[in-house]
Amino acid sequence: MKTTRINLLGSRKDSEKIEAVLLLARKIILLYAILFVVFVVIILGLSFQQSRTLQPLLLEKASHLSFLNSRKDQEAKLSYIAKKVKALDTFILDDARFLPYYELILKALNVSTGSAALSSLSIDKERAVNFTITYQDQQTLLNSFENIESPQFLQNFEQLKLAEFASRQLQGGTNYQLSFQGIFRKSSQ
Amino acid sequence: MKITPHTKTVIKKNLPYFIVIIPLVIMTIFIPPYLINRYVEGSKKIDTTQQELIKLRTQVDILNSVDSGAENLDEDVALLSQLIPNFEDYFSIIYTLDQISTKTNFLIASYDINLKLSTNEKLALSVTGVGNEDAFLNFLKEYNFGGGRLITAEKIAVASQLAGTTIDLNFYNKKPSASSDPSLDYQYSLDRAREIKNKIGFTLAGKEASAEALTESYPTKSNPF
């Protein structure tokens, strides 16, 4: 007769160990499943929120694009005008802007020197100036030195120096010439 | 091996869990990365759309705020096309000098083209003019815009005798580029165009204005008789 040996004590201990391990495994799997579901729900919720945010933005974008499309012609003209004006403002910097400085020096000379004649004047786009004043008599010349050195006259220049002093004997008397070189201060005109 | 009743109970109790874990692991490999990627792409799209909207709103605001009637724009386009044509037009230079002479009484007797100082965008001329002091002052006031073209003079030298005064003048041409320029100020440009328009009394006077207001194509004859 075949006998089955049962060691109840030994197998009970093994069963308990296995049962404990399996219980832990079941708990881990359950927790894992719960976390997975929670994670998916959260992500889907955030995605739904995103689409709620994006929808009005896309509608606004479509509206603006439609408006700009309807005003394409106007915008093209504005762009053309603005580019031409930008070019104009660049090119105009090449101009010596002679007239305001010319009028400035005539006004200053009248104030400073009384009677004197401007024989020559050159101004360039960097505001560099060369001018020559002619005097018919010595007294006017001497008076003019004081006025030319006055702050009222000099305030118009960044720098100014006397380049040449000449006198010429003419039939009617002596002719005096003062030649200056300098740089004008930038005029606001 | 004989399966005991206890083993059967254990298997019955735990099998569902072990069946579920397999698809759960497979879903974990595919679903979360897909959902995360979708969320990240969505965030990027929101950011991009918001950036685009900032630019679009600015453009819309500019177009709404700019004080421009359709007629005024056409006039401004015509004016600026005349002042700085897209390509050099020698006939308009001759016309401009003639206009200035008429306007100022400073007669421009002759001119020479200075190729050394000329560039693609700038044509340098030496003009010789005759006139009294008043005429010359008028010329100085009018030469920039008064002839219908933008003219500059890099240096002007005058002597007390104004007969035969030679002045170096520059004429300009420039075709606007097709690329967009975010630094452009539309309102300032319109104000500037109107300032020049008022200065020279420019009107369209029935001319149809377009961006190509000065056409380079004119009828020619193959047979001069």
pLDDT (tens digit per residue) in B90-130: 899 999 999 999 999 999 988 999 999 999 999 999 999 88
Q: What is the dihedral of CA B21, B23, B28, B34, to 10 degrees?
A: -170
Is A178 exposed, middle or buried, given 0-12, 13-18 or 19+ CB atoms closer than 10 A?
A: buried
Asked if pLDDT for residue B212 goes beyond 50, the answer is: no
CB of A60 within 8 A of CB of A53?
no
Q: What pLDDT does residue A7 have?
A: 58
Of A86, A76, A28, A165, the residue nearest B63 (C-alpha):
A76
User: What is the reported pLDDT for B51?
Assistant: 95
Per-position pLDDT tens, chain A of length 189: 566 666 555 566 777 888 888 899 999 999 999 999 999 999 999 999 999 999 999 999 999 999 999 988 888 999 999 999 999 999 999 998 888 888 887 776 664 455 678 888 899 989 999 999 888 878 888 877 777 788 888 888 899 999 999 888 877 777 888 899 999 988 765
Neighbours of B120 (CB within 10 A): 9
CA distance B125 to B168: 6
CA distance A17 to chain B (A): 13
What is the token pair recorded at A98? 């002679």
- State the Cα–Cα distance between residues B182 and B59, nearest whole angstrom: 10
Long-range contacts of B29-33 (CB under 8 A, 24+ apart): B31/A40, B32/A39, B32/A40, B32/A43
pLDDT of residue B216 exceeding 90: no
Instruction: Report which of residues B203 and A162 the model is more confident about.
Output: A162
Measured distance between the N- and C-terminal CA atoms of chain B, rounded to whole angstroms? 123
Q: Is the whole model's pTM more than 0.95, yes or no? A: no
Residue scoring higher pLDDT (B221 or A129): A129
What is residue B199's three-state secondary structure?
Answer: helix
Q: Which of B134, B128, B79, B125 is nearest to B104 (CA)?
A: B134
Helix pair angle (B5-65, B186-200), 10° resolution: 10
- Average pLDDT score over residue span B134-149: 90
- Looking at the DSSP bridge assignments, the partners of residue A167 are A176
Identify which of B80, B155, B190 has the shortest CB distance to residue A125. Answer: B155
For residue range B7-64, what is the model confidence (pLDDT) as tens digits? 788 888 888 888 889 999 999 999 999 999 999 999 999 999 999 999 899 888 888 8
Give the count of beta carbons closer than 10 Å to the beta carbon of residue A166: 11
Query: Which helix (H) or strand (E) segment is A61 a member of?
Result: helix A8-70
Q: Is the ipTM of this complex over 0.90?
A: no
The Cβ-side half-sphere exposure at B208, using a 13 Å CA radius, reads 2
Percent of chain B with pLDDT over 90: 48
Question: Which residues in chain A (81-120) have CB-CB distances under 8 A to chain B?
Answer: 81-89, 91-92, 94-96, 98-99, 102, 117-120
- Measured between alpha carbons, how far is B166 from B130 in angstroms, rounded to an integer? 9
The pLDDT, as a whole number, for residue A1 is 59
Best residue of B184, B189, B200 to probe chain A, by most A CBs closer than 10 Å: B189
* Banded pLDDT at B160 (limits 50, 70, 90): low
Predicted local distance difference test score (pLDDT) of residue B73:
87
Q: Which residues in chain B touch residue A33, judged by CB atoms under 8 angstroms apart?
A: 20, 24
User: B72 φ, ψ to 5°?
Assistant: -60, -40
Q: Cβ of A43: how many Cβ atoms within 10 Å?
A: 17
Burial call B89-102: b when 16+ CB within 10 Å, e when fewer: beebbeebbebbbe
Is residue B127 a contact partner of residue B167, using CB atoms and an 8 Å limit? yes
